[in-house]
Structure 1
Amino acid sequence: MDTGRLERIKSWQQRYVNEQKYPGSAVLVWRGGKEVCFHAAGLRNIEEDLPFTRDTLVRLYSMTKPVTSVAIMILLERGLFHLDAPVSDFLPEFSCMEALVPGASAIDQTEPCPPPTLHQLLTHTSGLSYPFNPGVLPEAMASKDLMFKPDQGSLDRMVERLSRLPLAFQPGNRWEYSVAADVLGRVIEVVSGRPFGDFLADEIFAPLGMTQTGFRVPDGAGNRFASLYTPLAGDAMALNSAVTSGESLRLTDSYGRSPFEHADMQSGGGGLVGNIDDYMKFAEMLRCRGRFGDSFIIGPQTADFMMQNHLSGEIASMGPLSFAEQPMQGMGFGLGGAVVLNPVRARCPGSIGDFCWGGIASTFFWVDRQLDLSVVFLTQLAPSSSYPSRPELKALVHAAITD
């Protein structure tokens, strides 16, 4: 990689800070199993003038989803279920399901439907949704605050409440970003007989050496935990009613008063806290087809299977109405992350088969096995749709690749 071109990443990060778009950020690039670039810019805490550093902890939000998906595949490899199994095999509360009829205008306009399968949960084709999406089901979810926030109690209770609502559509008919990974976290608990967080710690974090990652801010972290900012007025997650405020970096959460410091919810869709080196270990494991050091988290064939497109075509071809962490044209979806099908249609440099995902606080990662490349980007600004930092970063990294 051209070191001079990699230097452009630093000025790009600083520009976002200077323009008060991001408080601060960190970028870590590995190629061929070695670090080739790290840079941090700006602040993790504006109010106390604390720099964004390598050991800064952030809310990973939806970058939790690929971790949950790997956990499901660990259990799959043990022969404990198959992916076409209905979720009701593990969670009986989903046995008698209803879905909204096409064009429904009220939550009671439903028809019977089968329970979604594990595969449909993994690929966001289950009929579940998120409160910040448009539509009848998201409105009902928002009214009941079904968001799987860190301070919303136990996972089993929240999943049971979710099961009382109908699905947004018949499972398999559409793609819609959803709380499906949270339901999968509960499946993992039932199948493994262990709390979800314990399973992740034992089967993924400990083997990978991810000592700073979990569902709570680590004890003693203090102000290493970055503050969260938003350019919106009101709730930074209320995308349906998003209104820009007069502040581009309005504080919404900080150490000392954050629910992530005493979380009781173990959200498989968005609950993890971690730092950049920890997440790079996870990304490198995926790039290396499940291998880390001399051992495997998942087998190479399973890793390959995860990072292929599991949809019939592009995400855009499945009629999504929802928010998504990635473009929908030129992109398919694997198990827990997006897959580049056509970089031209995605309008962003990359390789066919890139596997990636991000979080609503503008974090992002991708692995490119053709180029032996892994990249992790961390910041803390919600929502992630605020600025086009992800395609810009991909362009910067690819511009530095000279072979």
Structure 2
Amino acid sequence: MKRLHRLLAALSILHLATLGLATAAHAYAVAPGGEPEALGFSSSRLARIAAWQQTQVDAGAFSGAVAAIARNGKVAYLRAVGFRDATRTIPLQPDAIFWIASMTKPVTSVAAMVLVEEGKLDLVAPVHRYLPELKDMMVGVETKDLATGKIELAREPQKHPMTVEDLLRHTAGLDYGVGGTKVDQLYKSLYGATGVYRRDRTLADFISGLSKLPLAHQPGEVWDYGLAVDVLARVIEVASNQPFDQFLETRLFRPLDMVDTGFQVPEAKLSRLVDLPAINGPPDSVVADVAKPTKLFSGGGGLASTAADYLRFCQMLLNGGELDGVRILSPATVKRMTTNALPSDIRFAGSASGIVGPQGGSTWGLGFAVRSDAAWSMVPGSVGSFSWSGTSGTYFWIDPAEQMVAVQMIEVAPGTGAPFLRMFRNLTYGAFRVPDQPLLASAVAPVTIDSATLATYAGTYAFSSTSSRDMQIPREFGGLGLDVAIEHGLVKVVSPIPGMPAAKAGIMAGDIITHLDRAAIQGISLSQAIEKMRGPVNTSVRLRIARKGQDGPIELSLVRAQIRLQGAADLQVAVKDGKLLVEANGTLPMLDFEKGLPIAVVPASSNEFFVDSGDHTRLAFLRDGADTTMRLVLNPGPWQITGQRIN
């Protein structure tokens, strides 16, 4: 009964309709709280989450998963799939404990803002006010000897000292030291047998060792994912005069009733800890073993938690800093944390720069990635939704516009979790129902459509989203077909898109674009570079390129072509035996339609159809005037989803 009491306390934001207890100790299964339909979801489409997760378990992608989705403060979905252990003998339960890796960072960020609100921590203050050891850190700058080609590391003073805000927004000049630069090589000394980033060393020890190394960038100039939040954890210790683990326990975990969250899983709960996959090398290997005691309370990646606990943390943020009568932060502070905090001219570097930045459709607040551009985002959701993930595959996001929180807990090899978070997010938004779906009056009156008319509707239709809740922005523009990144202030070609102008002109991965229309572009931001390369279709742009191993620049004149980003899903429409058959054609299902399960839709008029089962998706085939391109509109009206026929 004590375990059940703690469970109900931990899930008090959930309106649970049924609670079934399994016979195994500490194991339980929970039915969704409240009817999913009453919360705006389709039960059958939510069930696709567990079905997809099971396919991943069967394929060996991960041993098990727990997913939780809440809306309007009530849970619509909470399920466990698979196994807790690597040998796949112990069924996974919803109260399983996972190493959450970098999902620790938002927790640390909230802790810092608690102190900011209390006046004990100043966002604009230099970090050395709290950590004097870091005052004289230099900045590492690589220089290349033009005669020998040898790269040397020079050191220069900071132009501006790193601030507390820089730590929160990853602009402090720190990275993880996992790349190939000279600074990265120095950072690796932090993790060795004689280093200071170890479980038997403290945050104070870590800061002492870090102070002897150079920064990777000038503070405030580059967004680079790294050790900044571990430094922030030590700042919190100094500002609060309390060990970081104790501060989190007394100021966050206990008030929020996060009963299973901490830096070490106690012995009594080890039977609920999910086995980790093989982790090669630090920093992950240092903080991942949450079954063992630690002195290094890593604010960047050291916590273990459950889906239920993290759901409570997220619900507090969605509520504007309050949960169950306990206020952690003010609404104004939560708003500040979840709004863009980056300067307009910021440059992006590091392994996460494809997620945060113009190419990822998101920016960074104070502890969270914030969805800022639906046209570039690789996941659905409202602009303004905020999120983060862990290298082991754990993931959450909060969508204030939809009053929704979603958490997925899995354990995969570090850095391999992106496809799983994208699929979970797509399936979640794809489960939204159309509010007050109207019934078709003509549904009771049979309609006959001739075969020639039906044949005009056959084809493949591409959609930019599987959900009416995603912002429907066309993913077409005039451009060169280049994927670029900013490295050391230079615009570097990551890859040209096959068949597009850049690829046809012979531009190669690794090329450096030095000039656009004869104007030098060194030092511009990634968003500025992308904007300059885009433009109206059939307009020209001149590039000057530097290529390794080639003397002198390469001058090219390219004509912009229409670029169409890959859609989120396709529908295949076919005619058979006088009926129109529709099925999903890709990895994602779409409303009532799934791959391999064609559905015969019922005609309601010469160009309108509906599904006479499931969620009764409505379809309308349309052309605009002289436009010969056929469009397929699903659920016409304010929540419609529109696709274009591509063949």
Structures share fold, TM-score greater than 0.5: yes
Report the equivalent of 1:111.
156
Which AA in structure 2 matches 1:222?
A: L
Q: Give 1:135 shift.
A: 2.3
Report the equivalent of 2:182.
136
Contact map agreement 2:142 2:153 (CA 8 A) in 1? no
- Write the distance in 2 (CA, Å) between the matches of 1:279 and 1:185: 19
- Write the distance in 1 (CA, Å) between the matches of 2:353 and 2:302: 17
Which AA in structure 1 matches 2:349?
A: P
Structure 2 residues without counterparts, runs of 5 or longer = 1-40, 145-149, 436-647
Q: Give 1:237 shift.
A: 5.6
- Write the distance in 1 (CA, Å) between the matches of 2:354 and 2:102: 8
- Write the distance in 1 (CA, Å) between the matches of 2:197 and 2:135: 25
Which AA in structure 1 matches 2:320?
A: R
Contact map agreement 2:203 2:234 (CA 8 A) in 1? yes
Which AA in structure 2 matches 1:319?
A: F
Q: Give 1:175 shift.
A: 0.8
Which AA in structure 2 matches 1:57?
A: I
Contact map agreement 2:190 2:197 (CA 8 A) in 1? no
Matched, 1:67 2:112: no
1:130-154 Cα shifts (integer Å, max 9, x gaps): 0324422222111331798662411
1:87-143 Cα shifts (integer Å, max 9, x gaps): 000000011121012557868511011431011111111100103244222221113
1:285 to 288, 311, 316: 316
Which secondary structure state, in structure 1, belongs to the residue aligned with residue 218 of structure 2? coil
Listed as ranges, the matches of 1:148-159 within 5 Å are 151-159=199-207
Which AA in structure 2 matches 1:83?
A: L
- Write the distance in 2 (CA, Å) between the matches of 1:324 and 1:269: 17
Report the equivalent of 1:249.
none
Contact map agreement 1:43 1:50 (CA 8 A) in 2? yes
Structure 1 residues without counterparts, runs of 5 or longer = 240-251
Report the equivalent of 1:335.
366
- Write the distance in 1 (CA, Å) between the matches of 2:309 and 2:196: 23
Listed as ranges, the matches of 1:140-219 within 5 Å are 140-145=186-191, 151-219=199-267
- Write the distance in 2 (CA, Å) between the matches of 1:359 and 1:73: 21
Structure with the greater relative contact order (CA < 8 A, sep ≥ 6): 1 or 2? 1
Q: Give 1:34 shift.
A: 0.2
Which AA in structure 2 matches 1:342?
A: D
| TM-aligned CA distance change 1:166 to 1:383, over 3 Å | same
Report the equivalent of 1:242.
none
- Write the distance in 1 (CA, Å) between the matches of 2:138 and 2:418: 37
Which AA in structure 2 matches 1:351?
A: S
1:58 to 98, 113, 125: 98
Q: Give 1:24 shift.
A: 0.8
- Write the distance in 1 (CA, Å) between the matches of 2:393 and 2:354: 9
Contact map agreement 2:173 2:219 (CA 8 A) in 1? yes
Which AA in structure 2 matches 1:125?
A: T
1:240-295 Cα shifts (integer Å, max 9, x gaps): xxxxxxxxxxxx99x9xx45421221010011111111111001111111011112
Which AA in structure 1 matches 2:223?
A: W
Report the equivalent of 1:32.
72
Contact map agreement 1:134 1:321 (CA 8 A) in 2? no
Which secondary structure state, in structure 2, belongs to the residue aligned with residue 278 of structure 1? helix
- Write the distance in 2 (CA, Å) between the matches of 1:282 and 1:12: 26
Matched, 1:126 2:157: no
| TM-aligned CA distance change 1:274 to 1:238, over 3 Å | closer
Report the equivalent of 2:402.
371
1:88 to 121, 128, 132: 128
Contact map agreement 2:137 2:214 (CA 8 A) in 1? yes
TM-score, normalised on structure 1? Answer: 0.89
Q: Give 1:347 shift.
A: 2.4
- Write the distance in 2 (CA, Å) between the matches of 1:58 and 1:259: 9
Contact map agreement 1:65 1:336 (CA 8 A) in 2? yes
- Write the distance in 1 (CA, Å) between the matches of 2:292 and 2:191: 20
Q: Which has the higher strand share?
A: 2
Q: Give 1:43 shift.
A: 1.2
TM-score, normalised on structure 2? Answer: 0.56
Q: Give 1:313 shift.
A: 4.8
- Which one has a bigger Cα radius of gyration? 2
Listed as ranges, the matches of 1:268-283 within 5 Å are 268-283=299-314
Q: Give 1:15 shift.
A: 1.1
Q: Give 1:48 shift.
A: 5.9
Matched, 1:350 2:381: yes
- Percent identical across equivalent pairs? 34
Q: Give 1:191 shift.
A: 0.7
Which AA in structure 2 matches 1:136?
A: K
Which secondary structure state, in structure 1, belongs to the residue aligned with residue 93 of structure 2? coil
Which secondary structure state, in structure 2, belongs to the residue aligned with residue 187 of structure 1? helix
1:282-310 Cα shifts (integer Å, max 9, x gaps): 01111111011112100111001100111
| TM-aligned CA distance change 1:144 to 1:185, over 3 Å | closer
- Write the distance in 2 (CA, Å) between the matches of 1:223 and 1:80: 39
Q: Give 1:207 shift.
A: 0.6
Which secondary structure state, in structure 1, belongs to the residue aligned with residue 66 of structure 2? strand
| TM-aligned CA distance change 1:48 to 1:389, over 3 Å | closer
| TM-aligned CA distance change 1:11 to 1:148, over 3 Å | farther
- Write the distance in 1 (CA, Å) between the matches of 2:395 and 2:367: 14
Matched, 1:18 2:58: yes
1:57-77 Cα shifts (integer Å, max 9, x gaps): 111110000000001100000
| TM-aligned CA distance change 1:381 to 1:86, over 3 Å | same
Aligned residues: 383
- Write the distance in 1 (CA, Å) between the matches of 2:231 and 2:152: 21
| TM-aligned CA distance change 1:106 to 1:84, over 3 Å | farther
Contact map agreement 1:313 1:332 (CA 8 A) in 2? no
Which AA in structure 2 matches 1:79?
A: G
Q: Which has the higher helix share?
A: 1
- Write the distance in 2 (CA, Å) between the matches of 1:299 and 1:238: 33
